Chains A and B, each alone.
Chain A
Amino acid sequence: MKMKDCLLVNARYTGKLFLLLFVYFILAAPSGAKVYIDITSPAFKKLPVAIFDLQGEDGEEISGIIRKDLDFTGLFDCVDRASYIESASEPFNPENWTPLGIEAVVKGTVQGEKDLRVTITLFDPFEAREILKKQYKAEKGLIRAMSHSIANDIYAALLKKPGIFRTRIAFVAEREGAKGIYIMDWDGHGIKKFGLKGTLVLTPHWSPDGTKIIYSSERGRHWSIYMLDFISMTEKKVFSSRGVNMAGDFFPDGDSFSFSSTREGTSDLYVFAVDKKRLKRLTSSYGIEVTPAVSPDGKHIAFVSDRGGSPQIYIMRSNGRDIRRVTFEGNYNTSPSWAPGGDRLVFSGRSNGGNQIFTVKPDGSDLQRLTDAGNNEEPSFSPDGRYIAFSSDRDGTKGVYIMRANGESQEKITPEGLRAFGPRWSPN
């Protein structure tokens, strides 16, 4: 049986229930407090690391995934293997590495065919010690997930911060005229489609614990909000009324969510508490209010309103008070989303005839443009705030892209020919 490498699986084609174990053990004690890269330092420079191909049949693939993960962060310089003096089978000798300025070396082995057993050691040549020694076991179908876990552990050992290499991105894709909800690993691998009813599905939003998503779907001439629970693999309608009801962000409590609805005229913003079934209206202007984005602390909501004559980004308190405008440049600014630290907003704004991704401080200062080719929309931060997923039509077909939060390393991650958009990065 072919094993899937993701918690989220194609539900349409397989109804079988099966179980995988993915177990790993820490073999060595946690390392000390040395932080190898201070990403907040202005003098930051990439950390030179050497990552050997693990010895064993699948070692090259595993090490390749680890290198690609670390490389995308822009924090590491994976040194060319041609310059290694030491071979994979020789014991680690710090003196082979310090002259090259290499600060971390990864060596290890992989054994087994169906069940893989990986042992890795992360060495610090300058302190001549092991920083991390760990064993992982997983079925071969989970090789990508396991490799991402190893990359997370290496990242955490060197930066003292969690990595995002096991996170996922939810998005909307269109095939044969029908839009559906899809989920993939953050690097575009392991795409899964959910077998949902209806041909129009939009705006997925994650619950704070990453176990559910809400989205809007038009079924039987009604736009309602549905919730998909990954634990029970069930879908239920959570809000319905006349008009267009479009799902927005969850609040940190994990129960209530923001949304926009045209139930009482032009589109306004509301909050709905699922358990208590309590509805609260937040805005009541003559203009259109859409796309509510809840700040990480739950105290503010950024949204789009055309009350000033064109769509612009505004912020208000979560109770609907103290509305103020954030964007003033350009005449079409939409899709606000918060950085996890609450210190920046990312949004899509029209500039020279195309839509581009911008970030701005919540007070409207320090506007920065991150993209320049084609139309770029629907940005969403990674949970560590270092990356942004967005949609772009720069190569003809709309697809999902990721980039660093400063605009570097823009890369399409959905396959050619798949019309994909509306990405939302998972919270964990």
Chain B
Amino acid sequence: MTTPKPGRNDGAEAPSRRELLAAAAGAAAALIIPATAAISATAPETGLVLHRGWVLRADDLPRLKRA
């Protein structure tokens, strides 16, 4: 017999969703590395760079290093 699970719909507050969000947040934290790591250029014409998933302005990393 199934035990009906209380929860909310709209993808909000359902117990399974809370678990999913916690898992996603954990995975994201684990993948972030220090700002000194390599920079990969993404769209040079926009002046933006992709740094380990962070979409940054070209002057962000030098400035952050000094901060």
Report whether chain A binds chain B.
Answer: no
